[in-house]
Structure 1
Amino acid sequence: MVHLLCLNSGAKIVALLRFNEQLFLKVLREYNVVNTIMPPYFGVRLCKMNPRPDLSPLKFIMFGGSVMDPATQAEVQSKYNVTVAQVYGMTEMLMTMGCDYTKPTPLGSVGQPRRNVEVKVVDTQTGQALGPRQEGELCFRGPMVTRGYYDDPAATAAAIDADGWFHTGDVGYYDDDGFFFITDRIKDFIKYKGHHVPSAQLEALLCRHPAVLEAAVVGVPDPLAAELPRAYVVLKPGEPVSEDQVAHFVDSQVSDHKKLRGGVVFIDRLPRTAAGKISKKLLIEELNKRETTVTTN
C-alpha cells in the first residue's frame, strides 16, 4: 500500500529485495532518500550503533511489521533528528488506521481509524467489547476490509464473525483521544499458569540492555506451568555479560508471572522473513532441529 501511494504521488521508489543493513545505509546516501519504512529491530540497532551512521538527507522514518516500544521510537527520533512514526496494516485491510503527521501523535501510537472504518477492541477470552486503555484483540469492519479468503471458507469463518467484524489477531488498546496502540500478537502470548505473558514487552526490555543487540521471547513447554518464557538473545560483539545477568535485568522490572523462568540463551543470529521480521516459527524449528541432532548424536 505504501508503494502504491508513492507511485500515485509520482515519488521515486528504491526497493530492496531483502532488508540488508549495510546496503540500506548505502542506498540512503546514493539515492538521497527522504522517507523510508523499516522493521523495528533496525531502530534498536540504530540506537546502539557506534559510531552513529549518517542518515542525511533522511527526514521521515516509518516503522512497521512488528511492535516497537515508545522508548526506542523516541531515541531514534532524538539521535537522528528525524520524524518517526509507527504504522499498522494488514494485507486483509487497506488504510484502516493512520496518523496526521502534521499534528502531535502519542509515542507508540499507530494513529486513529480512517473514515468509513469501524474499530473495536474485544476481550480475547469472552469477545466482549472493551473501553479505553483496556487491552484486547483489534477488530475492524468497513468497505476496505476483505470479504474473505479465496477458496478457503474455513479461514474466512475463523477470521470474520457473523456480524462482519474481521478479527486481526493483534492485541492493543486505544486511549481517551482515540489513538490506538499495538502491543502484541495473540499467537505470541506465552501462557504461564493461567496468565498471558506478552512476549513483545519482554523483548522491548531486553533490547534496553546495553549489551543486547536483539532478542526474541518464546514459550517453552512445562508440565506444571504450561509454558515458561525463554529469551533468545543476540549480543553486541565483545560484550562481557552472562545469561543470568541479562535474565536478572528483565526479572527485576516485571511482575512475577512475567519473569524469564525459561532462562536466557545466547545465539549468533535470529532468523528473519524477507521483510525483516523476526520469525519465531523459524526460530523454534531451527532449535528443534538442533536439539534433535544433539539427541541423535
Structure 2
Amino acid sequence: MMVTDALLVPTQLNYLVKNWTKFPEGYFATLKHVLTGAAPLTAATYEAVRRLLPDVRLRNSYGMSESGFALTVHSPDAHLLTNCETVGRVNPGMQIVVIDENGVPLGANQLGEICMKGDQVTPGYVNNSRENERLFTGHSYLRSGDIGYYDDNHYFYIIGRIKEMIIVDGVNIALAELERLLTGHKSVVNAAVIAVSDDGHGEVPMAFVTVVEGSDVTEQELVAYVDGQVNEHKKLRGGLRIVDKFPTTPSGKIKKPQLLAIK
C-alpha cells in the first residue's frame, strides 16, 4: 500500500525526524501531503521535516471535537510561509474571536481565549445546562479553553491551554512554551510539563520527556538546557524525568494527570 496523505500530530513528526536513519531509503517516497493538528508545531520540527521531505506539503491546522473538525488550516500553498508556527486562517463558514478575561473581543496580536461559531460547531452538551452556560459566551461563541492570537494578516497562533497556564511568583507561565523548548533538543522526542506545588513559589514547572532510543542524555543536562534559555520564573524548579512512554488518548494527546503516577 502506498501512502500519499497523512494526518499526524506533531509528536509523531518529531519522532520521525529524530529517528530518520531507522527508516529504509525511499520509505516516504510516495508521501505528498501531511496535515498536523492536536498541538502546536514547533519551528524546529517544521524545519527538519522540510529538509528531510522537501517535496511534501506540510500544513498545520487547529480544531477541537466540539468544532467538528478543523477551524483553521494552512492554504494548499502555505507550506512556503517562513513563519511555520501559525495554524493558518479561519475556514469558510467559521467565525473566530479572541476575547479577554471579561469577554471583550481583542484585536490583532493581543493574547486571549479563542472562541468560535459556525454551523459545524456543536450547539451544546446533552442534558448538561450548567456546562453549556460555562462553555458559551453571551454572543453564542463556544469557548475553546485555548490561549492564542491572530496577526495582522489574520493568521492564528495557539500558545497553550488556559488550564496549563501557571503562576510562579505572580508571573503567568505557559507550560507549552517549555514543552516546545524541550522538543527542540536533539535527544528529546516528546515533552510534557505540569505544575507541581512549591512552598516558596506557590507552583513550579516539572517536565517529563521521552528521548531518542540509545541516547545518553541525562535529566540534569536537559534541566540545564532549559534553565539556560529562560528567565527565573520559567526554570524547571520541579525537576525533570526521562520516561519510557507517555499515557495518551486515542488521538495522541498526553494524559497529563497521570504523569506523576509513572514509575
TM exceeds 0.5?
Answer: yes
Structure 1 unaligned spans of 5+: 1-30, 291-297
Structure 2 unaligned spans of 5+: none
Indicate the percent of aligned positions where both proteins have the same amino acid.
32
1:235 corresponds in structure 2 to 211
Shift of 1:231: 0.7
Asked if structure 2 preserves the Cα contact closer than 8 Å seen for 1:110 and 1:181, the reply is: yes
Shift of 1:97: 2.2
1:117 corresponds in structure 2 to 94
1:58 corresponds in structure 2 to 31
Shift of 1:88: 1.1
Deviating above 6 A after TM superposition, structure 1's stretches of 4 or more consecutive aligned residues are: none
Question: Does residue 74 of structure 1 match 2:47?
Answer: yes
What letter matches 2:65 in structure 1?
T
Shift of 1:202: 0.8
Matches within 5 A, 1:271-282: 271-282=247-258
What letter matches 1:198 in structure 2?
A
Tell me, what secondary structure is at the counterpart of 1:51? helix
Tell me, what secondary structure is at the counterpart of 1:145? coil
- Which segment is superposed worse, 153-162 or 92-101? 92-101
Question: Does residue 40 of structure 1 match 2:10?
Answer: yes
2:145 corresponds in structure 1 to 169
**2-structure distance, mates of 1:218, 1:251:** 16
**2-structure distance, mates of 1:256, 1:131:** 30
Counting helix residues as a fraction of each chain, which structure ranks higher? 1
Asked if structure 2 preserves the Cα contact closer than 8 Å seen for 1:132 and 1:176, the reply is: yes
**2-structure distance, mates of 1:278, 1:96:** 22
Question: Does residue 154 of structure 1 match 2:124?
Answer: no
Question: Does residue 87 of structure 1 match 2:64?
Answer: no
Asked if structure 1 preserves the Cα contact closer than 8 Å seen for 2:60 and 2:73, the reply is: no
The TM-score with structure 2 as length reference comes to 0.90
Tell me, what secondary structure is at the counterpart of 1:110? coil
- Which segment is superposed worse, 108-117 or 197-206? 108-117
The TM-score with structure 1 as length reference comes to 0.80
Question: Does residue 252 of structure 1 match 2:222?
Answer: no
What letter matches 1:168 in structure 2?
S
What letter matches 1:97 in structure 2?
T
Q: 1:73-122: per-residue Cα shift (whole Å, max 9, x none)?
A: 22112212211111111121134323321345441222111334321112
**2-structure distance, mates of 1:195, 1:178:** 28
Asked if structure 2 preserves the Cα contact closer than 8 Å seen for 1:96 and 1:144, the reply is: no
Cα RMSD (Å): 1.8
Q: 1:17-59: per-residue Cα shift (whole Å, max 9, x none)?
A: xxxxxxxxxxxxxx21111101111111111114152212001
Tell me, what secondary structure is at the counterpart of 1:88? strand
What letter matches 1:87 in structure 2?
S
Shift of 1:176: 0.7
Asked if structure 1 preserves the Cα contact closer than 8 Å seen for 2:149 and 2:158, the reply is: yes
Question: Does residue 132 of structure 1 match 2:100?
Answer: no
Asked if structure 2 preserves the Cα contact closer than 8 Å seen for 1:191 and 1:219, the reply is: no
1:96 corresponds in structure 2 to 71
Tell me, what secondary structure is at the counterpart of 2:67? coil
Shift of 1:178: 0.3
Asked if structure 1 preserves the Cα contact closer than 8 Å seen for 2:103 and 2:137, the reply is: no
**1-structure distance, mates of 2:258, 2:42:** 23
What letter matches 1:151 in structure 2?
N
Structure 1's 280 and 162: CA in aligned 2 closer, same or farther, altered over 3 A? same
Tell me, what secondary structure is at the counterpart of 2:115? strand
What letter matches 1:119 in structure 2?
I
What letter matches 1:214 in structure 2?
N
Largest Rg, 1 or 2: 1
Q: 1:112-165: per-residue Cα shift (whole Å, max 9, x none)?
A: 113343211122x33332222222210112333221111111111111022212
**1-structure distance, mates of 2:20, 2:155:** 34
Tell me, what secondary structure is at the counterpart of 1:173? strand
What letter matches 2:9 in structure 1?
P
Asked if structure 2 preserves the Cα contact closer than 8 Å seen for 1:46 and 1:52, the reply is: no
Equivalences, count:
256
Asked if structure 2 preserves the Cα contact closer than 8 Å seen for 1:39 and 1:65, the reply is: yes
